Amino acid sequence: MNLVTFRIIGNPVIPNVSWVKVGKGLNVIKAFDAEQARFLFKMLQAINPPYDLKKIDHFRDLPLYTSTQKQTRKIIPSKKTAAIAIFTAPLQFVKELAAIDPVFFETDRIECGRRFDQSRWINFVELSSSTRWSEIESIVRGLLSSVGPNAVSTVGRLQKTIATLRSSDRIKGEIAVELRGQLEELRQFLLKNEQAQLDHCLHAVDRAQHFRQAKDVAEKHLPLFFTITRSMLDYPIQTADDASTMETSTTLFDFLIKRLEKGGHADAVSLKQRLHQINLSLQTIDSGLAPHFREEGISIILEGSQNGFVLPFIEMLPVCKVEMLLSALAAMHKQL
């Protein structure tokens, strides 16, 4: 998925602005000062950072109250969004979602946000994540009226359930489980030509569950948000356990290497093979720096080469370091 637009909300350092569009290639965002730029990317990175948000509270400095000309209200962290990002949904990904429910063929944008309490939400743009009772009410009542006296007990339980529902109610959670079970009980009393109507209702009742499954899939497809700071240009590869240093991105390579070692790639041979694949990917990049990784003892070294000579990362110009880091991070991220 590719980021197409984002918005930062509620940070006093960054005034609330309209959506920021992101185009292909290099995008330059001009801030009034370094602090604004730092907070903007810090909050945007919270959408899907390469570290545990529980260890680094991105939103600890956000205001606890919101004020207008007429009143001051306390902010409820679990309901207030701090950062929103919208991604494209590539065709292959849409097909994966459509295997859960054909309704996802209608989506091409996925919206993701972080709340003040650091919880994350995901929406599929222009798709409703659950069914309203009004969408299937007339069909269900029609089916109830068509069954014979043998279905008295089943009909009674179902009528008791739907009597509590209003037209605007969403069919999800416990009510969806209960309604589904009672509708299935009704199947044995329906005529063959009524089975399709029942299946339609069951599919509508399952919509909330399908969306939960689709959101789990979407979370796995979210790209990681990396930041490259001045400290990383000075110290390209550094192992550190202190969570606070992760915010300056000095442990990105260490983080990615650990990710490569997981999932059946824990032994040195497998890691070596994965690094080889990453280097093959780096060879496809049009760069005069020829970035590549090599193992040196227990460390992973990033370096370049030019005309047969090795170019140590630490000796490169800042602009070359940025090019090397972006290429290396992209290749490693692709492998993961």
Alpha carbons within 13 angstroms on the beta-carbon side of residue 231 total: 10
The residues with which 309 forms a beta bridge, in sequence order, are 306
- What pLDDT, on a 0 to 100 scale, did the predictor assign at position 90? 87
- Which residues have a Cβ under 8 Å from the Cβ of 219 and sit 6 or more positions away? 120, 122
- What pLDDT, on a 0 to 100 scale, did the predictor assign at position 12? 78
User: What digits encode the pLDDT tens for the residues 29-47?
Assistant: 888 888 888 888 888 999 9
Strands (E) in 9-46, as ranges, are: 20-21
- What pLDDT, on a 0 to 100 scale, did the predictor assign at position 109? 93
Give the chain's end-to-end CA distance (angstroms, integer). 14
Q: Are 112 and 220 in contact (CB under 8 A)?
A: no
Give backbone dihedrals phi and psi of 177, rounded to 5 degrees, phi first: -65, -45
- What pLDDT, on a 0 to 100 scale, did the predictor assign at position 165? 92
- What pLDDT, on a 0 to 100 scale, did the predictor assign at position 149? 84
User: CA 46, CA 286: separation in Å to the nearest integer?
Assistant: 31
- What pLDDT, on a 0 to 100 scale, did the predictor assign at position 250? 37
Residues of the chain with pLDDT under 70: 16, 229-269
Q: Is 255 helix (H, G, I), strand (E, B) or coil?
A: helix
Long-range pairs for 288-292: beta carbons < 8 A, 24 or more residues apart: 289/316, 289/320, 289/323, 289/324, 289/327, 291/324, 291/327, 291/328
Q: Where are the domains of the chain?
A: 3-127, 131-216, 230-335
User: What digits encode the pLDDT tens for the residues 240-287?
Assistant: 344 433 343 335 666 666 666 664 445 556 778 888 888 998 888 777
Q: What is the dihedral of CA 146, 150, 152, 153, to 10 degrees?
A: -130
User: What digits encode the pLDDT tens for the residues 134-156?
Assistant: 999 999 999 998 888 888 888 89
Tokens 């940070």 found at: 11
Tokens 């944008």 found at: 109
- What pLDDT, on a 0 to 100 scale, did the predictor assign at position 203? 94
The residues with which 131 forms a beta bridge, in sequence order, are 171
- What pLDDT, on a 0 to 100 scale, did the predictor assign at position 232? 61
